[in-house]
Structure 1
Amino acid sequence: MTSLLVMVGAGVALTAGWPLLNAVLPDTERLRAGSTLTLSPGAVAGDGDAPKSARFTVGRGWTMSRSESNPRNGYRLRHGTVELAVAYLMPPRAARAHQFWSGLRETVKIADAGARLGRPNPVTNARGTSGVTGTLDHAGRTGRASIFPSRAGDYAVEIQILGPPGARRGDRAEAERVAGTLTLP
């Protein structure tokens, strides 16, 4: 009977305490300027050279949502009012950039029926990584989406840069700068 009461008490404490703990602890983490983040399904802390990985580097003023960031799946970062979402994509079979784009169009429409994804245009970022990019209007925010597939097409990295229509140009430019640091081995 005593152990049952302890178990029930622990359950009540967790049920009531967990939301309170989440409310007290901040979800955002400030990132140091020059921090390099790695994205890979086999990610291990500091393993930036893992096969099928990607890396990008942030500058000053970036925060990361802890609850929406995981080095295996993706990161959600913020600079001012602009959000930068970086996601790892692994198709069931090798795909080209335009095929990934079609999948993104469907995914965006599921999340927001009124979302608009523009036509994909070829892009090469500052580090020489090639992909496609286009405009994105999603949930009242505007910006750009880009997809950078690996050379073999067996994985890709999706980047969404979104902010309110009146977002500071400097915040958008900083998000574009970070996207320009993306490298795939």
Structure 2
Amino acid sequence: MALVLLVLGAGLPLLDTALGSAGKPLAAGTVLSVGVRRDGVRPVTFTVPSAGWVLDRARSSLTSNVELANSGVGLSVSVVVPLGPLDARRLWNGLGRIVAVGGRSRLHAQPVPITTAHGLTGLTGRLAGRERAGMATVFARDTLGATVTAAGPPGAYQRLSSEVEAMVRTITISAPS
């Protein structure tokens, strides 16, 4: 848990100020990249499948996370830089503890394997809470990982769940050099 908390809390750039506080509507097909730049490239990328998603500039930091919203559903993609060995199961367990601390939701105990269109493997499962439904997914490579959470009112999440899954299935993680 300390690893994930460290990643989420450490290195927040002054970029938040530069991004401003207004939301930015995203076009279908927009590719977003997150993480510390290496050779001009951020290591975690994903594609927004359709219009209607808005980038929350005030809650996004391109070096660590991106927050999107659509019709009451929030989606967060965060980069995880491990201090030691990283695997999807440990990352899932750590994310579960962090989600529980927030008090609004909990992860379903038994995640299932997921593979992206680019062959990246991870774990995914339900996220549920009082008047909230959603999902969480984790991907871990030896030197870098990513977490995705999406949740909102049950009806809104149900309408957008296929778009959320489509975004998750586009995630790539480039190994740092």
TM-score, length of structure 1 as denominator length? 0.74
The answer as to 2:30 corresponding to 1:30 is: no
Is the Cα contact below 8 Å between 1:96 and 1:149 reproduced in 2? yes
Q: Alignment length, in residue pairs?
A: 153
Corresponding residue for residue 63 of structure 1: 54
State whether residues 21 and 58 of structure 2, in contact with CA within 8 Å, keep that contact through their aligned partners in structure 1.
no
Bigger Rg over Cα: 1
For structure 1, the residue ranges without an aligned partner over 5 or more in a row are 1-24
Matches within 5 A, 1:6-155: 27-42=22-37, 47-48=40-41, 50=42, 53-58=43-48, 59-112=50-103, 115-118=105-108, 119-138=110-129, 140-150=131-141, 152=142, 154-155=143-144
CA distance 1:169–1:111, shift in 2 (3 Å): closer
Q: 1:13 matched to which residue of 2?
A: none
Quick one: which amino acid aligns to residue 38 of structure 1? Answer: S
CA distance in 2, matches of 1:34, 1:166: 25
Structure 1 segments of 4+ aligned residues over 3 angstroms from their partners: none
The alpha-carbon distance between structure 1 residues 168 and 104, as it changes in their structure 2 partners (threshold 3 A), is closer
CA displacement at 1:147 relative to structure 2: 0.1
Question: Deviation of residue 115 (structure 1)?
Answer: 3.0
Where 1:106 maps in the other structure, the secondary structure is helix
* 2: CA distance, partners of 1:95 / 1:37: 24
CA distance, structure 2, for counterparts of residue 104 and residue 78 of structure 1: 20
Q: Which amino acid aligns with 2:90?
A: Q
| Structure 2 gaps, min length 5 | 1-19
User: What is the alpha-carbon root mean square deviation over aligned residues?
Assistant: 2.1
TM-score, with structure 2 as normaliser: 0.78
Structure 1: which amino acid aligns with 2:146?
Answer: V
Shift of 1:104: 0.8
- Looking at structure 2, the residues matched to 142 and 148 of structure 1 have their Cα atoms a distance apart, in angstroms, of 21
How many percent identity over aligned positions?
29
